[in-house]
Amino acid sequence: MHKKKILTFFKKAALSLAASSASLICAAQTVRPFHPNDKVAFVGNSITEQGYYESYIWLYYMLHYPSRRITIYNVGIGGDAAKNILARLDDDVFSRKPTIICLDFGMNDSGYFEYLQGNPDSVGRAKVKASKSYFDQIEKRFRAFPAEKIMITTSLYDETVKNPKNYYPKKSVYIDSIAAFQQRAAIANRWGFVDFLHPMTAITLREQKKDSTFTLTGNDRIHPGNQGHFVMAYLFLKQQGMAGKPVADVLIDAARKKIERSENCQLTALTSSSDEVRFDYLANSLPFPQDTIPRLWDNPHRQTEALSVIPFNEEMNREMLTVKGLGAGDYTVSIDGHLIGKWSNSQLAEGINLALQTNTPQYEQAMSVLWLNEERMGLESKLRAYYWLQFDYFNDIGLKYADNERAMDSLNVTAPKNWFVGSKKDNYRAARYPAVRASWQKQMDLLVDEIYQVNQPRKHTIVVKRG
C-alpha cells in the first residue's frame, strides 16, 4: 500500500480509536488512589525503564500527600515484550512483594521492521496472537499473586507525525488490538485499567492539524520525551481521581473580615481591612513544580511543554488565593516578608494561583523535593541498567547473576558491536559488586527518608497590602 494511503487509513482509524477512549476508561475498573505504605511496581519496557512517568506520579504524591508515604518501583527493562516480562516475574517483580502491580506492554509486542517485510495485516495479527499467548500466562500468575493489579496500555506509536524515520505501516492498528485484550482482562479480573494509548493519540492528531511535526514521542516515533511522560503521569493521576483536588483554596472577604473558604489548608490569625489582609497559612500540600530541562537522551522535549496540551495546572495544581472586598488599586502579596508579586484588587477577587509563582517559599520547598527525587531516580537507573544486562544479555549466554571476570570479559568483547550492551558496560563495572548495589539502594532509601521530611507542611504568613 502506498505510504500516503496508509497514512489516510491510519488517521481515520486513529480518530475512531480516540473517540472511543472515554468509553474504554469508563468500562474498566476504577483505579483507587494509592494508600499509605503501598508498594507499587511499574512493570514494562524501555518507556518504563526511562523512569519518568512513574517518577512524576510519585512526585505528585510526595507533594500532594506528604504524610501518605508510598514506595514506587521502576521495574522496566528496555526491549521487553510480554514474553520477557513473564520470564522475569519471580526475580524482578514478585520478589519486591508489591501491594500493587502496574503492567504496561505492547510497543515491542507489536513489532517493527516486520511490517516492511511482509503483509502488514498478517504481521500484525501474528504479533498480537503471540503477545496474547504470553499474556495469558502472566494473567494466571497475576491471579495467584496477592497484590492489586492495574493494566496500562502502551503509549502511542506515532504513525502520523511528519518524520521519515521508523515508519512501520499499520503498527498502531495492532497496538490497539493489544490494548483491547488488556482492557478485557482488566474487566474480567476486576483489575484497574489506565489508557495511555487513546488519549495520547487524540492529543497528537489534534495538535498535528496545527503542526504536522508535533509529537509526544521523539524522532523514533516510539519513546516519549519528558513532555510525553508528563502526559502519561497526568492520565494515570486523572484515572485515580486527582483532578479537582487543590493544593489549597483560600477565599477571604476583606470587607467582612471573614474566611469564606479554606480547602486543604488551615488559616489563623486573620486581620483584615479594605487596604490590608494578613493571616497565617498552613497548606496540607505543596505545589507541583514543572521541570524545564530535557532529561532524556536524544529528545529535546521538556516537561513544561506538556502544559500546552493537558490541563494539569488547572485540574491538579491549584493553590488559589482569592481576596474580595478590597478597595480599588494595586496590592502586593508577600509571604514571610518576601515580595511575591503585585495584582489589582479585581485580579485578587478573581483569584491568584500561587502554584504558578516560582518565588514562593512553598514552591522552593517543592523544588527541593523535585531535586531529591531526581537524585533517587538517578540511582535507580543504575540498578535498572544492571538488571537489563542480567535479563537481556547474560541470561542468553548462561551468565545471569554470575557477576565474575568471565561476565566482565564477555561485556568487553560485545560492547563495541552492541550499543545497548556498550552503554551499560561502565555502569556494570561497579554494579556487579553486591556491596555497591546495596550502597545505591541505601542511598535511595535515605533520599526517600529525606524527601518525607522536607515535604512536610510549613506555616507561612501571607500579607496582601495596598501599594
Measured CA to CA, the distance from residue 25 to residue 37 in angstroms comes to 27
pLDDT in tens, 338-396: 999 999 999 999 999 999 999 999 999 999 999 999 999 999 999 999 999 999 999 99
Report yes or no: 14 and 160 within 8 Å, Cβ to Cβ. yes
- Indicate whether 187 and 276 sit together in one domain: no
Number of domains in the chain: 2
Residue 306 domain flag? no
Residue 97 domain flag? yes
- Indicate whether 259 and 234 sit together in one domain: no
Residue 64 domain flag? yes
Report yes or no: 222 and 228 within 8 Å, Cβ to Cβ. no
- Indicate whether 433 and 350 sit together in one domain: yes
Euclidean distance between the first and final Cα of the chain, in Å? 69
Measured CA to CA, the distance from residue 200 to residue 235 in angstroms comes to 9
Q: Quickly tell me which residue has 496590592 as its cell.
A: 331
Which residues 6+ apart lie within 8 Å of 336 measured at CB?
A: 361, 460, 461
- Among 210, 239, 268, residue at a domain's last position: 239
Measured CA to CA, the distance from residue 336 to residue 286 in angstroms comes to 16
The one-digit pLDDT tens for each residue of the chain (467 residues) are 444 544 444 455 444 444 444 444 444 457 999 999 999 999 999 999 999 999 999 999 999 999 999 999 999 999 999 999 999 999 999 999 999 999 999 999 999 999 999 899 999 999 999 999 999 999 999 999 999 999 999 999 999 999 999 999 999 999 999 999 999 999 999 999 999 999 999 999 999 999 999 999 999 999 999 999 999 999 999 999 999 999 999 999 999 999 999 999 999 999 998 899 999 999 999 999 988 888 888 889 999 999 999 999 999 999 999 999 999 999 999 999 999 999 999 999 999 999 999 999 999 999 999 999 999 999 999 999 999 999 999 999 999 999 999 999 999 999 999 999 999 999 999 999 999 999 999 999 999 999 999 999 999 999 999 98
Q: Quick one: which H or E segment has residue 347?
A: helix 345-350
Measured CA to CA, the distance from residue 18 to residue 24 in angstroms comes to 10
> Coil, helix or strand for 263?
strand
Residue 302 domain flag? no
Q: What's the pLDDT at 13?
A: 46
Measured CA to CA, the distance from residue 401 to residue 396 in angstroms comes to 12
* Closest C-alpha among 16, 42, 6, 31 to residue 198: 16
The CATH number of residue 24's host domain is 3.40.50.1110
With residues binned 3-state (H G I as helix, E B as strand, rest as coil), the percentages for the chain, rounded to 5, are 50, 20, 30
- Indicate whether 148 and 176 sit together in one domain: yes
- Indicate whether 174 and 258 sit together in one domain: no
Query: 102 exposed, middle or buried (CB, 10 Å; 0-12, 13-18, 19+)?
Result: buried
Q: Measure Cα distances from 403 to 109, 243, 266, 415 in Å.
A: 30, 46, 55, 16
pTM equals 0.94
* Closest C-alpha among 297, 375, 392 to residue 77: 392
- Indicate whether 208 and 257 sit together in one domain: no
Mean pLDDT of the chain: 94
Residue 347 domain flag? yes
Pairing of strands 100-105, 39-44: parallel
- Indicate whether 234 and 279 sit together in one domain: no
Residue 309 domain flag? no
- Indicate whether 423 and 462 sit together in one domain: yes
- Indicate whether 198 and 337 sit together in one domain: no
- What is the spatial order of strands in the sheet that 258-263 belongs to? 258-263, 248-253, 319-324, 352-353
- Indicate whether 381 and 423 sit together in one domain: yes
Residue 23 domain flag? yes
- Indicate whether 225 and 271 sit together in one domain: no
Domain that holds residue 74: 3-239
Residue 26 domain flag? yes
- Indicate whether 168 and 260 sit together in one domain: no
Pairing of strands 265-272, 276-283: antiparallel
